[in-house]
Chain A
Amino acid sequence: MGTARLYAAVAGSGFRRYATYRIATAAGVFTNTVFGLILAYLFIALWDSKPHLGGYDQAQALTYVWVSQGLLMVVAMMGGGFEDELIERIRTGDIAIDLYRPADLQMWWLAQDMGRALFHLLGRGVVPLLFGALVFDLALPSDPLTWLAFLVAVALGVAVGFSIRFLVALSAFWLLDGAGVAQLTSIAGIFCSGMLLPLNVFPGTLGEVVRALPWSSLIQAPVDVLLGTADPLGTYAVQAAWAAGLLAAGRLVQSVATRRVVVQGG
């Protein structure tokens, strides 16, 4: 089997695996919709008292709410992706089996995570956005090319999200229990991805810092491409640079960690 076909099959299995949990998916859609509603009314109040806050008008701010609720699970910045399983495999030593496989560890999990992300985009992304579009006035683009540009930004965001969580998981080689690092990273992710509040709204230096961090690639960047408030090519360049840098870092840590396994195994 060719390498591309192997990883396509792994991505397919990642997709099917999450597609099995139908009730959980429906429950998740319900949760995203409830939180979307709360945030939408909050944002209406905010933008009522300060129109054009963060450079968005009210319809754009509401679009931000519903698109970001749809993307939460896709980019998995709160956890819930592959990392728990990888941490567990490192802790129990099963990782040794994975390393014997004729597939690269990082690529394997990246393919799996891409499959998961695609499922969550369809399973948990579409319905909250449709609900939001029915209940509120959103600023959704009519040009299919803009949607395509958005999907590219989402894919790059997933790659950045994956590479962060891959580094988190590898920390288990040294810490054995990766829970603390995973928790800290998810806190940083919630705050710095723009999930609580668009990063454009963060004031002053704090705003500049959070917009420069890799987490801005996860939600803020794709939403801005969809809203037309950011240049797609420039956005891709930043996202791709983060993805490439963090994936390379993951590869480096992986090779160091792999040598550790051999030492431990005698």
Chain B
Amino acid sequence: MDFEPFERLGAYERLRDGLRAYRLITAMWVRSTMAYRASFAMTALGNFAATALDFVAILLMFSRVDRLGGYSLPEVALLYGVSGVAFGFADLALGSMDRLGRRVRDGTLDTLLVRPVPVLAQVAADRFALRRLGRITQGLLVLGYALAVLDIHWTPLKVLMMPVMLLSGAAIFSAVFVAGGAFQFVAQDASEVQNSFTYGGNTLLQYPPTVFAKDMLRGVTFVLPLAFVNWLPALYVLGRPYPLDLPTWVAFASPVVAALCCALAGLAWRAGLRAYRSTGS
């Protein structure tokens, strides 16, 4: 790879180089995965099955109750599907970020620092796991079920909301992954904290907001704005009000919130990288 010295590049070139490096490294891992096709098929199926269990649990609940927090099964399926697909994309692209702490601990991060390739691209693409397509597939199936069964009064705005919601949601979750990685420069051994915001956030969003305490809703609306992944936009599509008395237009704010989250996560990442001190020997 012929990368120019990093410092002399502008923001656009850096982004372009980063994406190119990310593409090359992920392509390498995909090739190595495909060397064992049977193994890939099994792990992708396992990924699918493991995520599907959450939804099976929801089905089991609905075998005993008609409504959960006032929501019907197809409505919960819509929330579940959107969150699952958005999280699935972020997990596919950046799910390896939680390995960063290990690299900081054992010193192998230094290898990445001396390469003329953006560190974020290298860390994110490290051991790129194509099997995570299983999670996306599972989310898409549940989302498809919800859209087929729900009787939504579609308007052009609501139709547009669907892809916007998935993309913004994926971007918000991606920001959480990157911020979690930045946190691990400092905490090193605390990848589970990151998991509670990524996997925990996804689990939270799979249920109706009416289930949770108002303080939790305020936290995921104003502090860590996960509510913009699916709750706020999806409740607009369903024609239901959000339990916190917010104006309707916040349902459309997801792309802006996502951009803001990504910018903040980028800053956190750079701060973390600058604070990094190698373990030495």
Some 26 contacts from A to B, beta carbons below 8 A apart, are A24-B189, A24-B190, A27-B191, A30-B193, A31-B192, A31-B195, A34-B196, A34-B200, A35-B196, A35-B200, A37-B216, A38-B204, A38-B212, A42-B68, A42-B211, A46-B68, A49-B68, A50-B64, A50-B65, A183-B43, A183-B46, A183-B50, A184-B46, A187-B53, A197-B57, A201-B64
Chain A positions 21-61 with a Cβ under 8 Å from a chain B Cβ: 21, 23-24, 26-28, 30-31, 34-35, 37-38, 41-42, 44-46, 49-50, 53
Seed contacts A31-B200, A38-B207, A196-B54; 7 additional CB < 8 Å A-B pairs: A30-B193, A37-B216, A180-B39, A184-B46, A190-B50, A196-B53, A197-B60
Nearest chain B residue, comparing its CB with the CB of A26: B190
A180 to B36, CA, bound (A): 13
B60 engages A201 (CB within 8 Å)? yes
Please tell me if the beta carbons of B192 and A27 are within 8 angstroms of each other in the complex: yes
Residue of B nearest to A184 (CB): B46
Given the known A-B contacts A38-B200, A187-B50, A196-B54, are A180 and B192 also in contact in the complex, defined by CB atoms under 8 Å?
no
Describe B's contact surface by its main secondary structure: helix
**Are B69 and A45 in contact, CB atoms less than 8 angstroms apart?**
yes
- In the complex, the chain A residue whose C-beta lies closest to that of B203 is A38
Is A23 within 8 A of B187, CB to CB? yes
CB-based nearest A residue for B67: A49
4 closest Cβ pairs, A-B complex = A27-B190, A27-B192, A23-B189, A34-B196
Does A203 belong to the interface (CB within 8 Å)? yes
1/0 per residue, CB under 8 A from A, across B55-85: the answer is 0110011011111110000000000000000
How many B residues have CB within 8 A of the partner chain? 37
Interchain CB contact under 8 A, A42 and B64 = no
Distance A215 CA – B187 CA, assembled complex (angstroms): 34
Flag if B53 contacts A203 (CB, 8 Å). no
Query: Given that A28-B192, A31-B200, A35-B203 are contacting pairs, would A45 and B68 also be in contact in the complex, using a CB cutoff of 8 Å?
Result: yes
**Is A133 at the interface (CB under 8 A from chain B)?**
no
Contact of A23 among B39, B50, B57, B190 (CB under 8 A): B190
Contacting pair B54 A49 (CB below 8 A): no
- The answer to whether A21 touches B189 (Cβ under 8 A) is yes
A86→B190 CA distance, assembly (Å): 25
Q: Which of B191, B193, B212 contacts A41 (CB 8 A)?
A: B212
Q: Output the least CB separation between A118 and chain B (Å).
A: 20
Determine whether B35 belongs to the interface, using a CB cutoff of 8 Å to chain A. Answer: no
